[in-house]
């Protein structure tokens, strides 16, 4: 096109969100129309951070398997990936970013469109000893490589995992798989606080069952070191000997760079965007763990670091940057995890979250089997639903079970997404055959129980009124 | 209550629908208020007909395991179950049913409310030889017991299964498991006609892979017999030697009794009911395989014999008979099945059904993995979506894969149920972790592909217009 000037898209961060966006934008706009430059601080692109525990545990043999696409593959598609290059300042007025390479050399990179996909920063307690060589954070792929090397090289016997969230538990499993004696420390009285206590207790039982020592309700107070290495983890209840420490204390959005530039950051610490992933600053977009999004049930902004959201948001940003139209509607808070044989899943609001969001609610939990009771391999799973009083609208669901249990959360998440009531759900036409479900699927049994509770509550209200 | 007369509920048929209804009615109305009498032609109550192939295959050891609740258990709950008692006539004017016991003795049983739950009748070709002792239908539990006994006692070497639907395929698998050489005959060019040809072809490959001889596009023409036993099955293409024949030709609603009484029966052959399971005749209800229901996507009446519908409809009838309020909304046509390692699932309309219902549609099929590609146990599955042109509304879905593939149909069935478009579905918050799904779940990948096709089609229309 005569007089047409090529535009430049600058992406900060070469993982899920950034590379999804770059790929989508490239699909819609060729290199003659849009130059795409990606600045990545680390040495890899597009890897599965969620796969790190499986690499450490040895379930995945080679770290390369976690890499979905290499920088070379992106370059072949006309995406200029610059590794070990960190963005250190955004200059909104001039539309440029100061980038520092591995040698410390700096230069300004201009942009017509900027996408911030800086990810998340793991929480790291400011305690003496935290920087010892045998204290491992788990964030980037290199962390996983370092940890596995330490396990294989140093032959540690005792590990302490700090933090009982998904990553902490998956790391505990990985280290148990590696033959280590593992202690798990968490300040809360249950692991996996995204579950209600009755469901979390089942996870705790499972962890104990595989030999993980649970130190719940214990606060991390410090590290005992010797020769630059931690020898014990001090908690509010005593000292736990450790040859190896893994920190799994959760993450916060990596939004400092954006905030420093004057880009709006919300109360969650995540960058604020609209549903097309545009920030409040012109020509600046953001996606992935560094942004906040809307929780579809509570209506509140939340920052949830999860690869699947990062990929979706990156795709949406990329389609829009490429001249298309796409939106990211928000999240339902769905998560699944597997700790040895135990499968755990949740979506929507748990009881505490429902209360905090101002909902009056009822809960119903049922035990049922994953397959027809007479079919080999049938195991017991517990399904819990949280429903709004009166309306009966599904607000949340939790599952703890074994093989074939957890992925049932998808159906519940979709019911939730569509605002279904538990009564409506009792009629759902779900797949039935003996190898897959009892004649009443656990999801339907839970819906029935919840619907009964809603009805009883309604009658009690009417009688009382 | 003074002057209160006890009412009588008469139930014809003591399987899923009838016994669910009886149980629900009993929960809400005690024996002093409602007498419940069940007439059951056979010798069992509430068994899993869907479990019969697994009993024949030896996966389930004992037929008793398939019985959810015995007549004695129902009697303890105040439900008067009369086995080997057949209802032979309904007299609507006088509100009574003529019942014949095992000895042939007849008597009239009066009712205040009648529930017809007579189930389905298997298709049985009127061909010479069909009544030979080694030709087995599979409908009631006794059929399964007889077949397994024949397999164990007579040691047949070659079996011919007639009919390539779910039951036919599951029986073929059961007999392969038992070490028989199995041939499958179907007049259609593919097994499992509820799938599109491209998906059915995968099922055919799987059957061949486990050694089932497929005789597709061959019409059943007769049986060769010797001494009262079938020795070969004659098809339009030749003769297949057989020591054992299993008929899996599908079923039709057992509505003759109702029709003879003047109760309305629809074009599908199923008894017509409203959403509370009331027939058009006063005080007469019906539920289970003998009724027709509404297909939620096509809007057409359909008769689908499936235990999960029978249970739900029975529950709905029982709640209403008990003085409560419940409705059966219809079905989405969801089905799952497992043929050896291959899992098959479908919901909504396939391409032929969508065309017949008058929809303009597009299809998209994707191959993806059940888990993260790097996670052990990840297998390839094919997911196909059928979406309405322009609106992009999901009309149907099909899955063929291996372990952990098929139950993903539930999420698709719930999306369908809620009228979601494939574009909306791309944003769904589904459970992600490497042991459960790739970062883009197969359902999302299929939705993306379908949404792209809808968009392309729209652009092509606009450009063309």
DSSP states of A156-205: --EEEEE--SHHHHHHHHHHHHTT-EEEEEESSSSS-TTS-HHHHHHHHH
pLDDT one-digit tens code per residue, A105-155: 999 999 999 999 999 999 999 999 999 999 999 888 899 999 999 999 999
Using the predicted structure, report yes or no on whether residue A241 has a pLDDT greater than 70: yes
Does A461 participate in catalysis according to the annotation? no
Using a CB-CB cut-off of 8 Å, the residues of chain A touching B28 are: none
Q: In the predicted model, what is the mean pLDDT of residues A245-251?
A: 94
pLDDT one-digit tens code per residue, A354-401: 999 999 999 999 999 999 999 999 999 999 999 999 999 999 999 999
| Mutation site, B275, B327, B428, B433, interface A, largest A CB count within 10 A | B433
Cβ–Cβ gap A431/B420 under 8 Å? no
Using the predicted structure, report yes or no on whether residue A465 has a pLDDT greater than 60: no
Cβ–Cβ gap A415/B420 under 8 Å? no
Instruction: State the pLDDT at residue B3.
Output: 55
Instruction: State the pLDDT at residue B255.
Output: 98
Nearest C-alpha in B relative to A324: B455
**Furthest CA-CA distance within chain A:** 78
Please give the share of chain A, as a percent, with pLDDT higher than 90: 93
pLDDT one-digit tens code per residue, A33-67: 999 999 999 998 888 888 999 999 999 999 999 99
Instruction: State the pLDDT at residue A1.
Output: 46
Cβ–Cβ gap A436/B338 under 8 Å? yes
Using a CB-CB cut-off of 8 Å, the residues of chain A touching B338 are: 433, 435-436
Instruction: State the pLDDT at residue A3.
Output: 55
Instruction: State the pLDDT at residue B1.
Output: 46
**B394 CB neighbour count, 10 Å cutoff:** 29
Q: Hunting for tokens 């005569």 — which residue is that?
A: A2
Instruction: State the pLDDT at residue B272.
Output: 98
How big is chain B, counted in residues? 465
Q: How far apart are CA A330 and CA A313, in angstroms?
A: 10
Residues of chain B with pLDDT under 70: 1-3, 465
Instruction: State the pLDDT at residue A283.
Output: 98
DSSP states of A355-370: HHTT--EEEEEEEEES
Q: How far apart are CA B461 and CA B465, in angstroms?
A: 6
**Nearest partner of A448 among A424, A414, A418, A419, judged by Cα:** A424
User: Domains along chain A?
Assistant: 7-121+252-321 (3.50.50.60), 124-249 (3.50.50.60), 335-459 (3.50.50.60)
Half-sphere exposure of A209 (CA within 13 A, CB side): 10
pLDDT one-digit tens code per residue, B196-239: 999 999 999 999 999 999 999 999 999 999 999 999 999 999 99
């Amino acid at each position: 096109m005569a007089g047409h000037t090529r535009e430049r898209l600058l992406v900060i961060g070469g993982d899920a969100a950034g590379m999804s966006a770059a790929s989508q934008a490239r699909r819609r706009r060729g290199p003659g129309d849009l130059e795409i430059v990606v600045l990545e601080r680390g040495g890899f692109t597009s890897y599965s951070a969620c796969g790190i525990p499986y690499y450490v545990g040895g379930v995945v043999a080679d770290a390369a398997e976690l890499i979905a696409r290499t920088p070379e593959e992106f370059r072949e598609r006309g995406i200029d990936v610059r590794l070990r290059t960190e963005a250190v300042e955004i200059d909104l007025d001039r539309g440029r970013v100061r980038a520092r390479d591995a040698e410390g050399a700096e230069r300004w990179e201009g942009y017509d469109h900027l996408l911030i996909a800086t990810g998340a920063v793991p929480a790291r307690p400011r305690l003496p000893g935290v920087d010892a060589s045998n204290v491992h954070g788990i964030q980037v792929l290199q962390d996983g490589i370092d940890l596995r090397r330490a396990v294989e090289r140093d032959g540690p016997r005792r590990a302490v995992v700090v933090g009982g969230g998904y990553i902490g538990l998956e790391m505990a499993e990985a280290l148990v798989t590696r033959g280590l004696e593992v202690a798990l420390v968490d300040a809360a009285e249950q692991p996996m606080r995204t579950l209600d206590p009755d469901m979390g207790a089942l996870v705790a039982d499972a962890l104990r069952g595989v030999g993980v020592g649970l130190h719940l309700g214990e606060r991390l107070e410090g590290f005992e070191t010797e020769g630059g290495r931690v020898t014990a983890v001090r908690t509010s209840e005593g000292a736990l000997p450790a040859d190896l420490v893994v920190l799994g204390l959760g993450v916060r959005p990596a939004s400092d760079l954006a905030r420093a530039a004057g880009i709006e950051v919300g109360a969650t610490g995540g960058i604020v965007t609209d549903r097309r992933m545009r920030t409040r600053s012109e020509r600046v977009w953001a996606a992935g763990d560094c942004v906040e999004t809307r929780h579809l049930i509570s209506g509140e902004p939340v920052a949830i670091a999860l690869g699947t959201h990062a990929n979706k948001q990156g795709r949406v940003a990329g389609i829009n940057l490429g001249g298309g139209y796409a939106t990211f509607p928000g999240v339902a808070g769905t998560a699944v995890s597997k700790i040895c044989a135990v499968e755990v899943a949740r979506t929507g609001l748990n009881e505490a979250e429902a209360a905090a969001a101002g909902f009056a609610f009822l809960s119903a939990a049922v035990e049922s089997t994953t397959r027809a009771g007479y079919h080999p391999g049938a195991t017991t799973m517990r399904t819990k639903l949280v429903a709004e009083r009166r309306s009966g609208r599904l607000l949340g669901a939790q599952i703890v079970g074994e093989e074939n249990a957890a992925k049932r959360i998808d159906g519940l998440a979709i019911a939730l997404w569509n605002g279904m009531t538990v009564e409506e759900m009792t009629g759902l036409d779900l797949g039935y055959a003996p190898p897959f479900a009892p004649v009443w699927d656990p999801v339907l049994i839970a819906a029935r129980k919840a619907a009964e509770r809603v009805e009883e509550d309604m009658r009690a209200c009417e009688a009382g009124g």
